[in-house]
Amino acid sequence: MMNNRTSQTPASKDENWRYGGVIFLDNIGTKAKLGKKASLEDVESFISKYEKILNEWEQPINLKNQQWAKLPSTLQIKLKAFSDTIIITLSISKHEFLLYKDQITPKRILRSTAAFLPLFFTQMFEKEIFLRGAISIGDFYETGKMIVGSALFEAAEYYEQPQWIGISAAPSANLLLSNKSPPIEAAELFVQYPVPLKIGLEPSGWALNWIKVSDLLSEKGKHENTIKERSLEIEKKINEGLKTTDFNHSIKWRNTVKFYEYISGRAFNYI
């Protein structure tokens, strides 16, 4: 059990120094859809769909933050979006991280940061918002208007490298996942996979197992039907994406097919 808070609770100004996970997500194809030839209707439709999904997640995120606020060590999750980029942070103040380092380990923070991503990712996918991104772990400084620091810079540098629809581990998260001692809780969240990057394959890469884990999060009693429906919906969206004549987008979709086949253990159903 963790001890109750003591008089050592840091001053509010120190609360901005954080330790935790940073996720950068890029909406594939937004620039093409909303470029110079886009109409006002196209822009409004995109923003409306985008905001609706983000607003749907506002309540569960607030609820989770309220639950964590009752604990001695306070984790906090934040979601921000600008243009076609989503930034998600899950963190604890650096002071509390050092104070509770035996309980709140980097691997536990990584697991907590990644835990809700599969469901978030697949819901965006089903609404034709296709994301690629990266997750990093480390220090950063966050205010109401600004976020800077090593974990942010790392995620920002890495997240545009992957050539697919998916989320992969930036170097800091990769190191935690590769170190099996102690094993990370709920390791099924990630799978070791040669992540396709702009510079070539990352042979020792780690990817969020969004396809399988989203199935495991289905409601009991509806599990089998939900898996089947979700698989058909994912395959439908991928087939639509494969029809693109844009070379860069085509490469991303073909790489996504390979990952889908690897996780599902069967050949993709081309239509």
Helix (H, G, I), strand (E, B) or coil at 217: coil
Phi–psi pair at 54, nearest 5 degrees: -65, -40
User: With a cut of 70, which residues of the chain have pLDDT below it?
Assistant: 1-13, 32, 182-187, 213-228
DSSP 32-59: HHTSTT--HHHHHHHHHHHHHHHHHHHH
Helix (H, G, I), strand (E, B) or coil at 265: coil
Cα 46 to Cα 151: distance, rounded to the nearest angstrom: 29
pLDDT at 50: 82
Q: Which residues pair with 132 in a beta bridge?
A: 26, 166
pLDDT at 227: 61
pLDDT in tens, 218-271: 444 444 546 667 778 889 999 999 999 889 999 999 999 999 999 988 899 898
| Strand residue runs (E) in the chain | 17-27, 76-82, 85-93, 131-142, 147-148, 166-169, 190-192, 195-197, 200-202, 206-208
Q: How far is CA 139 from CA 17, 47, 64, 160, 172, in A?
A: 7, 32, 22, 21, 11
What are the extents of the domains in the chain? 16-210
CATH architecture, domain defined by 16-210: 2-Layer Sandwich (3.30)
Helix (H, G, I), strand (E, B) or coil at 252: helix
pLDDT in tens, 123-145: 888 888 899 999 999 999 988 77
